[in-house]
């Protein structure tokens, strides 16, 4: 094997190593950001007056604001897990189907979906938002279908 061939292989190895290091750095940055966010939200979950700092209206009932803040953390966790590949697309679809059985979770997504659906340069973030929104729309369709098939009471 010539020295040029060895140099090409070595260079390819260095390039691969740099790509892996870049990905690991990104994972570390995302984890640090999520951890910081969690640490900032924890006190607000205990003291709803602090939720105003996160954009929740002061007139929002405390229990509702806490649930929305916590649900937002859950969605952020699911996005991170999906982005890192620790949950698969079928697992995410199944999880979202269960979550959207709840009126409160559907209402959360209804008011938050635009932020998630904003164009992102990250393929996995766009895919996550599309999967969640598809599950949301399916849940709405199912809700409408169930409402249409419920027997109507007749007044005598």
pLDDT (tens digit per residue) in 53-71: 887 788 888 888 889 889 9
Domain that holds residue 74: 12-149
- Distances in Å between the Cα of 88 and the Cα atoms of 67, 83, 124, 135, 149 are 26, 9, 11, 15, 34
Q: Is residue 4 part of a domain?
A: no
pLDDT (tens digit per residue) in 114-125: 988 888 778 889
The number of distinct structural domains making up the chain is 1
CA gap 142, 96 in Å, rounded: 14
Q: Is residue 48 part of a domain?
A: yes
Q: Is residue 108 part of a domain?
A: yes
Nearest 10 degrees: Cα torsion 44, 49, 52, 54 = 0
Handedness of CA 128, 130, 136, 141 (dihedral sign): negative
H-assigned helices in the chain: 3-46, 62-84, 89-99, 103-117, 123-149
Q: Is residue 156 part of a domain?
A: no
pLDDT of 156 reads 39
Q: Is residue 47 part of a domain?
A: yes
Say if CB 82 and CB 128 are below 8 A apart: yes
Q: Is residue 136 part of a domain?
A: yes
Q: Is residue 73 part of a domain?
A: yes
Q: Is residue 103 part of a domain?
A: yes
pTM: 0.73
């Amino acid at each position: 094997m010539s020295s040029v061939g060895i140099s090409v292989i070595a260079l390819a190895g260095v390039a691969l190593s740099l790509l892996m290091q870049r990905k690991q750095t990104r994972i570390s940055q995302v984890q640090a950001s999520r951890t910081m966010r969690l640490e900032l939200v924890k006190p607000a979950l205990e003291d709803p007056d602090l939720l105003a700092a996160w954009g929740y209206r002061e007139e929002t009932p405390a229990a509702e604001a806490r649930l929305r803040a916590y649900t937002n953390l859950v969605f952020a966790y699911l996005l991170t897990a999906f982005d890192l590949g620790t949950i698969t697309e079928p697992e995410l679809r199944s999880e979202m189907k269960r979550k959207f059985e709840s009126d409160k979770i559907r209402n959360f997504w209804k008011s938050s979906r635009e932020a998630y659906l904003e164009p992102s340069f990250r393929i996995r973030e766009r895919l996550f938002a599309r999967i969640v929104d598809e599950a949301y729309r399916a849940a709405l369709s199912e809700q409408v279908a169930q409402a249409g098939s419920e027997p109507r009471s007749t007044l005598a």
